[in-house]
């Protein structure tokens, strides 16, 4: 009996094993492999050209015409778009132009300042808006200006004065009556030229400044003013004008009075018209201090490029003046 039970159990176990072995096996669900995520670069908006606001002192002088032309010819090389305005010696107009540049969110400003103190608030406003300001030819009395780029006007005046001193010593025996046509509104630039000129004449007791008048820095006004100077002074030996328009106006007045041969004239700016007169060897314009407007304008663009690259600059970036006379005038016409 016991053997029979064992046999039955054994048979049942075999049946169970056979059933299990013959049952279909469950197929495991495949786990998908993670696919790499495609990272698309964030589009960078094009920066475009840097917008540069330029406010000019005037457009009536050859010096500023040459600078404006140079800026326009070279702006694209630096990736600059220029917005040029003309203040025409008006502080209020220049202030309004600066305000417009700030509203337009320009990247930088070139300021040919009409007045060194009158333009301080405008420079401060630009600085507050994060807009760097470079002054050219006309400085501003503010530490917020990146740098001033321009002629050393005192040195230029001194060069003119040294020429006058030599002429008076060698040709007039150290005695002379001198007339000066200045422009006191330009409290830094033109006043510095006159101060440099006077400095060179110090220590000459027989040299007298018989007239110092405001010629307005314009040819027509300088001509009218010098007509009055001629009427009041029967003897004038040397005339110094703070720019070429001034000195050419004075020469026209002297020509009209029939007295141009009585005196020599010394100008400032080195404009083509003035240089051509000296190169002729027939003019009473005997010397002229040349600024370098093309170099000054190019320097301003180069400085702005450096500013955008994070460079630092000294507060003054001088461009040296050059004395032109009959002897070297032809070299400046080439």
Residues 162 and 287 in one domain: yes
**Within a domain: residue 233?**
yes
Q: Is the pLDDT of residue 3 over 70?
A: no
Residues 235 and 192 in one domain: yes
Query: Which carries the bigger pLDDT value, residue 191 or residue 35?
Result: 191
Q: What is the pLDDT of residue 7?
A: 47
Q: If you average pLDDT over every residue of the chain, what do you get?
A: 89
**Within a domain: residue 23?**
no
- pTM higher than 0.95, yes or no? no
Q: Is the pLDDT of residue 300 over 80?
A: yes
Q: Is the pLDDT of residue 5 over 50?
A: no
Query: For tokens 């998908």, what's the residue?
Result: 32
Residues 90 and 181 in one domain: no
Q: What is the pLDDT of residue 71?
A: 98
Residues 141 and 227 in one domain: no
The mean per-residue pLDDT over the stretch 83-99 comes to: 97
Q: What is the pLDDT of residue 17?
A: 40
**Within a domain: residue 43?**
no
Q: What is the pLDDT of residue 333?
A: 84
Residues 61 and 113 in one domain: yes
Can you give the chain as a three-state secondary structure string?
A: CHHHHHHHHHHHHHHHHHHHHHCCCCCCCCCCCCCCCCCCCCCCCCCCCEEEEEEECCCCCHHHHHHHHHHHHHHHHHCEEEEEEECCCCHHHHHHHHHHHHHCCCCEEEECCCCCCCCHHHHHHHHHCCCCEEEECCCCCCCCCCCEEEECHHHHHHHHHHHHHHHHHHHCCCCEEEEEEECCCCCCHHHHHHHHHHHHCCCCCCEEEEEEEECCCCHHHHHHHHHHHHHHCCCCCEEEECCHHHHHHHHHHHHHCCCHHHCEEEEEECCHHHHHHHHHCCCCEEEEEECCHHHHHHHHHHHHHHHHCCCCCCCEEEECCEEEECCCHHHHHC
Residues 158 and 279 in one domain: yes
Confidence band (pLDDT; 50, 70, 90) for 188? confident
Residue that finishes a domain, picked among 146, 177, 209: 146
Q: Is the pLDDT of residue 240 over 70?
A: yes
The mean per-residue pLDDT over the stretch 84-109 comes to: 97
Q: What is the pLDDT of residue 334?
A: 67
Domains held by the chain: number? 2
Q: Is the pLDDT of residue 24 over 50?
A: no
Residue that finishes a domain, picked among 84, 111, 146: 146
Residue 200: CATH number of its domain: 3.40.50.2300
Residues 116 and 184 in one domain: no
Residues 200 and 69 in one domain: no
Q: Is the pLDDT of residue 242 over 50?
A: yes
**Within a domain: residue 261?**
yes
Q: Is the pLDDT of residue 56 over 60?
A: yes
**Within a domain: residue 106?**
yes
| Beta carbons within 8 Å of 227's beta carbon, 6+ residues apart | 253, 256, 257
**Within a domain: residue 103?**
yes
**Within a domain: residue 41?**
no
Q: Is the pLDDT of residue 118 over 70?
A: yes
Q: Is the pLDDT of residue 20 over 90?
A: no
Q: What is the pLDDT of residue 18?
A: 39
Q: Which domain holds residue 271?
A: 153-292+326-333
Residue 307 to residue 118: CA distance in whole angstroms: 25
Q: What is the pLDDT of residue 59?
A: 94
**Within a domain: residue 314?**
no
Say what percent of the chain tops pLDDT 70.
Answer: 86
Residues 184 and 140 in one domain: no
Residues 130 and 113 in one domain: yes
Residues 227 and 261 in one domain: yes
Residue that finishes a domain, picked among 84, 117, 146: 146
Q: What is the pLDDT of residue 186?
A: 83
Residues 86 and 178 in one domain: no
Candidate from 1-15, 239-253, 292-306 with smallest mean pLDDT: 1-15
């Amino acid at each position: 009996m016991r053997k029979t039970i064992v046999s039955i159990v054994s048979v049942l176990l075999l049946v169970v094993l056979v059933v299990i072995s013959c049952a279909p096996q469950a197929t495991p669900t495949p786990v998908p492999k993670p696919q790499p995520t495609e990272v698309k670069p964030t589009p960078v908006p094009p920066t475009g050209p840097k917008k540069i606001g330029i406010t000019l002192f005037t457009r009536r002088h050859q010096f500023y015409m040459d600078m404006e032309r140079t800026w326009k010819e070279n702006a694209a090389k630096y990736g600059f778009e220029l917005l040029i305005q003309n203040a025409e010696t008006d502080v209020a107009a220049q202030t309004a132009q600066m305000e417009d540049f700030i509203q337009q969110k320009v990247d930088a400003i070139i300021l040919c300042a009409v007045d060194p103190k009158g333009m301080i608030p405008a420079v401060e406003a630009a600085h507050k808006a994060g807009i760097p300001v470079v002054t050219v030819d006309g400085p501003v009395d503010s530490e917020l200006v990146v740098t001033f780029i321009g002629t050393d006007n005192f040195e230029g005046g001194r060069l003119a004065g040294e020429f006058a001193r030599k002429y008076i010593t060698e040709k007039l025996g150290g005695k002379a009556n001198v007339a000066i046509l200045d422009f006191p509104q330009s409290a830094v630039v033109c006043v510095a030229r006159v101060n440099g000129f006077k400095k060179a004449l110090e220590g000459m007791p027989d040299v007298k400044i018989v007239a110092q008048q405001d010629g307005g820095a314009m040819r027509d006004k300088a001509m009218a003013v010098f007509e009055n100077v001629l009427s009041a002074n029967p003897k004038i030996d040397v005339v110094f004008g703070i720019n070429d328009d001034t000195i050419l106006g004075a020469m026209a007045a002297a020509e009209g009075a029939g007295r141009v041969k009585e005196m020599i004239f010394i100008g400032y700016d080195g404009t083509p018209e003035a240089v051509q007169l000296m190169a002729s060897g027939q003019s009473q314009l005997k010397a002229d201090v040349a600024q370098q407007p093309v170099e000054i304008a190019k320097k301003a663009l180069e400085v702005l490029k450096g500013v955008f690259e994070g460079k630092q600059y000294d507060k003054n970036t001088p461009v040296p003046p050059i004395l032109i006379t009959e002897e070297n005038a032809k070299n400046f016409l080439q």
